[in-house]
Structure 1
C-alpha cells in the first residue's frame, strides 16, 4: 500500500509539473524579457570584489562602474575602473554590446599607457579577476541560444521557471566558453536569480547567484543586485561582489563610454 501511495504521489507531481510547463511562456521571449531587467538606462556604483582562489587565499579589489543602455537599440555599455589596491589603480575596462555584430571589449593598461581592443573570444575571459566572465557581466544575447523551459523551482522563496539554454553553433561556444546554461527566471518579474554553466566538454563549471536585489523605482521592470556570488565548481575558486553607493543616472552621455575615455580615468 505504501508503495502504491508513493507511486501515486510521484505521478501526481509529474502531472502537475507537466501542466506547469505546458502553461509556461515562450522560452525565447522569457529570456529576452529577463535580459531587459538588468539593462539600466544609466547608473554609477562602487563595487568591492572579494576574490578567493582555489587555495582559499583572499584578495580584495575596489572598482568604480558606469552603466548605460541606449534607449533606441537596447545596447548596453559597462565601464569599470580599478580604485584599489594601489598597484592596479587606473586599470580600466570597457564592454560595449552591439546587435548584429561583435561586441567590443577594451582594456586600458596604465603602466604601459596602452589602450587595447580584445578579440571576440575575450568575452569568455575573467571580468577584472573575478570568476565571472566578461560575457556574464555584459549578458548573453538570448538570440544566440536555443532555450527550453524544463520545469519550475523556487529560489529563496521566488517561484521560477528553470530554463536550459544551448548554444546556436560553435562560435557561441567559442566566445562564451559554455556548452550549456541553466537559469532560474522569476515567474513574476523575469529576473534571473541563478545561472549554472557547463564548459565546452559538458562538465559543470560555474554557479552564479544574485542576492539583495532591489527594484529600480525610476525604471519600472529593472532591478539591481547588491550582492553577486560566483563559484568555480571545478577548482572551488569564488568571487563575491558587493555593490555600494549606487546612483541611478539615466542622463549619462555616450561620450563617457568611448574607448578613449578610459585614458582619462588616470
Structure 2
C-alpha cells in the first residue's frame, strides 16, 4: 500500500530556501526514501478517524470519519465517509493513488447537500481538504521521481536516531499541484517511518509542520495513530489539525466494490 506521508516536524528555521534549479540528488538520501516507500504497510486497511480542527483562538471542531484502503496491484484506492457532525455527515472522499508516474491520481468528493460528486482537478489539489490543514495533494503519496533528495544530517529525536532529508521539487508543476516549495523530513533509522516534517507553503508565507505523536505496531505494521499538522506564520500558529486513528484493522480480503463513485454517493 502506498504511504500517506503525513509525517514530521521540528523547528527548522536554520534551513534557508533553496532554488530548485540548484538542487542536486543525493544517492544515499534517495536510497533511504525508497526504503520509506517500500516499507510494509498492509494490503487492506479499515479504521475510524477523528479529525480535530483548531483555530488560532483555540476553538475546536471535531469530525468523525470511517475509512477503507486497498491495494489494487501497485495502485492504492482509499475511501472516506464523514459520519459527524451533521453539517458534513455523508460527505465522501475517494482516491485512486496510481503507481505509474505518468498518470495523475484521481480524486472525487461527494457533497450530499448538493447531491453532487466533484472530481478534484489537478489545479485544485493544493487547496484545503475539508477545512483542515491538509490539502488534497497530501491525501495521496508523492512520486519519488518528482524530487531531488539531500541528506542533511543525522540526529536524535524522541530517543530515536533519525535522518533529516531535504526534498526539492524537480518541476514547477509539482509545486503548483502540491502547493509546497520544499520540505524537510525526519526518517526514523530503525523502521524507515517519516515521523516529522516541515513544508514551505508557496502562498502566504506559511510553514506547515507535521508531527507523529503516536506511532504503534498493529499486526506487525507501523501505524501513525496520532498526527498533528500545524500551520504557522513566523512563531504564530494560524491553525492546527489533529488526526487520531482508532480501531485499525488489517484484513486479508476487502470488497473491491467499496472503492467506486457509486459507493461514494451511496455512503456507508
Separation of aligned partners in 2, 1:239 and 1:232: 9
Deviation at 1:28, TM superposition (A): 1.8
TM-score with structure 1 setting the length? 0.83
Match of 2:161 among 136, 159, 162: 159
For the aligned residue pairs, the C-alpha RMSD in angstroms reads 2.0
Deviation at 1:256, TM superposition (A): 1.4
With over 3 angstroms needed to count, the CA separation of the structure-2 counterparts of 1:35 and 1:121, relative to structure 1, is: farther
Moved more, 125-134 or 230-239: 125-134
Separation of aligned partners in 2, 1:39 and 1:121: 29
Q: Is 1:173 equivalent to 2:175 in the alignment?
A: yes
Match of 1:46 among 45, 48, 54: 48
Task: Give the gaps of 5 or more residues in structure 1.
Answer: 1-23
Task: Give the gaps of 5 or more residues in structure 2.
Answer: 1-25
TM-score with structure 2 setting the length? 0.82
> Which has the larger share of helix?
1
Q: Larger Rg: 1 or 2?
A: 1
- Corresponding residue for residue 28 of structure 1: 30
Q: Deviations over 1:39-78 (max 9, x none)?
A: 43111111111111123221111011111223x31x2222
Contact between 2:166 and 2:183, CA under 8 Å: does it hold in 1? yes
> Which has the larger share of strand?
2
Contact between 2:179 and 2:203, CA under 8 Å: does it hold in 1? no
Separation of aligned partners in 1, 2:42 and 2:136: 17
Contact between 2:126 and 2:177, CA under 8 Å: does it hold in 1? yes
- Aligned-partner SS, 2:125: helix
Separation of aligned partners in 2, 1:148 and 1:43: 32
- Corresponding residue for residue 10 of structure 1: none
Deviation at 1:260, TM superposition (A): 1.9
Q: Deviations over 1:101-126 (max 9, x none)?
A: 10011001111211121101333222
Contact between 2:188 and 2:194, CA under 8 Å: does it hold in 1? yes
Q: Which structure has the higher relative contact order (CA within 8 Å, separation 6+)?
A: 2
- Aligned-partner SS, 1:171: helix
- Corresponding residue for residue 87 of structure 2: 87
Q: How does 1:1-266 map to 2 (within 5 A)?
A: 26-37=28-39, 39-70=41-72, 72-73=73-74, 75-98=75-98, 99=100, 100-200=102-202, 203-217=205-219, 222-234=221-233, 235-265=237-267
